[in-house]
Amino acid sequence: EVQLLESGGALVQPGGSLRLSCVGSGFTFSSNALSWVRQAPGKGLEWVSYIVGSGSYTDYADSVKGRFTISRDNSKNTLYLQLNSLRAEDTALYYCAKYQYNTFYSYMHVWGKGTTVTVSS
Amino acid sequence: EIVLTQSPGTLSLSPGERATFSCRTSQSVRSNYLAWYQQKPGQAPRLLIYGASSRATGIPDRFSGSGSGTDFTLTISRLEPEDIAVYYCQQYGTSPKTFGQGTKVEIK
């Protein structure tokens, strides 16, 4: 069974940093593109970032560009999201999602359960 | 950025009725790279439709998608109580891969 398990969410002060992790199982991790998608409390879904299977190409939403960094360690079947210069508006449930194909033009067909980031003083 | 506008905001229907969700985009979606997701309360989103009209694995055939260009529709032919959820459209043909704001389904 294909599974994604996020971790690393926490309460952090504005301006602080955090690293989220997502461990994948049940599939060939290095052959699949992945994304982070977030959902602020009571709000809709916001696509945050994308990384291709090899890690050679990444993409970001304008709202996080320059502050967040997506990366992956295929030897550990783990996806990361480094969050820096955090703001109150980054408070959200962060989902890890797997694409059906290892290409930008693909859709997210498996989602994790999410990890919660709260930015507050 | 392609903006996706979903309507209505809330749909209140009885079991067995037909539900129709609209998703309009500010620019044409490349190759109809549009997906629909269902999110039940307290759960992660679930893929329903990709490529505007292809059902994902395991999705009941009462769910169908249609449309092209800038105008897309998700239809539930006969609403079931377990279909209570928020439904989102997303385009994945252009960066950033934007979502619509969602349509909430309530059962009368």
Tell me the per-residue pLDDT of A68-111, one tens digit each, with 9 for 90 and over. 999 999 999 999 999 999 999 999 999 999 999 999 899 999 99
Interchain contact, B47 vs A59, CB within 8 Å: no
**What pLDDT sits at residue B108?**
86
Q: Is B96 exposed, middle or buried (0-12, 13-18, 19+ CB in 10 A)?
A: buried
CA distances from B49 to A1, A36, A107, B75 (A): 21, 20, 9, 11
> B-chain residues within 8 Å CB-CB of A58?
none
Tell me the per-residue pLDDT of B9-64, one tens digit each, with 9 for 90 and over. 999 999 999 999 999 999 999 999 999 999 999 999 999 999 999 999 999 999 99
The answer to whether A109 faces chain B, any CB pair under 8 Å, is: yes
Contacts of B43 (CB under 8 A, 6+ apart): none
Q: Does residue B1 surpass a pLDDT of 90? A: yes
At residue B107 the predicted structure's pLDDT band, cuts being 50, 70 and 90, is: confident
The CA distance from A97 to A33, in Å, is 9
Tell me the per-residue pLDDT of B62-79, one tens digit each, with 9 for 90 and over. 999 999 999 999 999 999
The CA distance from B79 to B3, in Å, is 28
Interchain contact, B44 vs A95, CB within 8 Å: yes
The answer to whether A104 faces chain B, any CB pair under 8 Å, is: yes
- With beta carbons less than 8 A apart as the criterion, state whether A53 and A102 touch: yes
Q: How many CB pairs under 8 A join A and B?
A: 60
> A-chain residues within 8 Å CB-CB of B90?
45, 47, 107
- The mean pLDDT value of chain A amounts to 97
Percent of chain A with pLDDT over 90: 98
**What pLDDT sits at residue B86?**
98
A-contacting residues in B 67-86 (Cβ below 8 Å): 86
Interchain contact, B92 vs A109, CB within 8 Å: no
Number of other CB atoms surrounding residue B47 within 10 Å: 22
**What pLDDT sits at residue B91?**
98
Contacts of A66 (CB under 8 A, 6+ apart): none
Q: Does residue A36 surpass a pLDDT of 90? A: yes
Q: Does residue A3 surpass a pLDDT of 90? A: yes
The answer to whether B41 faces chain A, any CB pair under 8 Å, is: no
